[in-house]
Amino acid sequence: MPMHNVAIGNVEVTALYDAPILMDPRQFMPQHADAFLSEFGHLADERGLMQMAVTCYLVRSNGKNYLVDTGLGPRKRPGFPSGNLDLALRDAGLTPADIDAVVNTHLHIDHVGWNTFDRDDGTREVFFPNARFFVQKAEWDYWMTPERLAAPGNAYLVECVEPLRDSGRIEFIGGEHAIDEHLTCVPTPGHTPGHVAVGIMSAGERAVIIGDASHHPAQLLHPDWSPAFDIDPVQSAKTRDRLFNWAAAHLACGPLGASGPGAAGPARRQAGVPGVIGHRPSGQRRILAPLLTGDGTCRSRFAPVATRRRCSSTGRSLVMSLLRPRALTTRWRTRSRNGPPAAGSTARWPPPSVPFRSRCG
């Protein structure tokens, strides 16, 4: 899988492909399955399954290497492939020891898998030996109860999450929390109670890594469509609605050119922005979008967009061409140059001049 980088000011973000996942739309979004298949059924293969991707993000800031989410991990589990994050890190020129901090946007199985690995003697070891781990306290308190640890399907919590507490390198955070001068964890609840996005601010440019606040491009057109995995579907819809409203107020996006069709206009449901979303002072914009290719595999590529104007054509063709929003990067012009919060502060991100607030609900 090719490596893709995007610069947000002085911060570099690299999308790291961990694993593919095949998803049955009727299990993925059961309450809206018929409407979903009517609009987006062409994304399914001959078996009626959609190919999606587990993507992690390497963020290089101030000489430090931060990892947002750790994918599925090396263990073989029923219904899941093992991940390839270790190989993706190697291709990026890093070893696990080079990671300074990990942000788990939430504690689902496909976001914590590489937190630990099993030694030959059966003991568990933290995979990133020098990293601090940032987790929202509300997220930890929800999942790490004796009842949930013992629940069917939650063995991964004992394997991948509980050892962090024993390692002494977990840092519980609450509300908005600045990791360094460029990176801030922002609460985006709904998918899980303590879900966070990661805000990036550098040299007047901004971006947001949104984790699982949105799962699929269909939700750009239908933010009220909550998948079965959302613990609080009403809250998650509110989070998406506010996120997309904010993005639509700032985004100007042109056609993908050689990478595929589509454009996003000013209407908030045509924003086309989940994954990593951002804006910059200059007029150039780039989209890093996984596209559905002819062979049904996931491909990601950059498509530069030079125009500053908002496009009047519909964003539906763009939305229907995208495969996995977590690897979608859009940058747009900033309206504010307020500086980032100091490390460890609880300052609001984005700054007050940006209409989106982290209190999504």
Structural domains in the chain?
Answer: 4-333 (3.60.15.10)
Query: Which amino acid would we find at residue 342?
Result: A
Spell out the residues 6+ positions from residue 168 whose beta carbon is closer than 8 angstroms to its own.
Answer: none
pLDDT tens for the chain, residues 1 to 361: 556 788 889 999 999 999 988 889 999 999 999 999 998 888 888 998 988 889 999 999 999 999 999 999 999 888 888 999 999 999 999 999 999 999 999 999 999 999 999 999 989 999 999 999 999 999 999 999 999 999 999 999 999 999 999 899 999 999 999 999 999 999 999 999 999 999 888 998 878 888 999 888 788 889 999 999 999 999 999 999 888 776 666 543 322 222 222 222 233 333 333 344 444 333 323 333 332 222 222 333 222 222 222 222 223 323 323 323 333 333 322 323 333 344 444 433 333 322 222 222 2
Of the candidates 296, 202, 304, the residue with the CA atom closest to the CA atom of residue 253: 304
- Per-residue pLDDT, 80: 87
Q: How many CA atoms lie within 13 A of 345 on its CB side?
A: 12
| Both structure tokens of 14 | 């690299």
* Contact of 128 with 68, CB cutoff 8 Å: no
Long-range contacts, 153-160 (Cβ 8 Å, 24+): 156/73, 156/75, 156/77, 156/109, 156/112, 156/113, 157/107, 159/75, 159/116, 159/118, 159/124, 160/73, 160/109, 160/112, 160/113, 160/115, 160/116
- Per-residue pLDDT, 3: 67
* Contact of 43 with 50, CB cutoff 8 Å: yes
- Per-residue pLDDT, 208: 83
- Per-residue pLDDT, 6: 86
Q: Kindly report the pTM of this predicted structure.
A: 0.74
- Per-residue pLDDT, 311: 26
* Contact of 83 with 54, CB cutoff 8 Å: yes
- Per-residue pLDDT, 336: 31
- Per-residue pLDDT, 247: 64
* Distance from the Cα of residue 51 to its chain's centroid: 17
Place of tokens 């002494």: 168
- Per-residue pLDDT, 112: 98
Note if the bond before 25 is cis, omega within 30 degrees: no
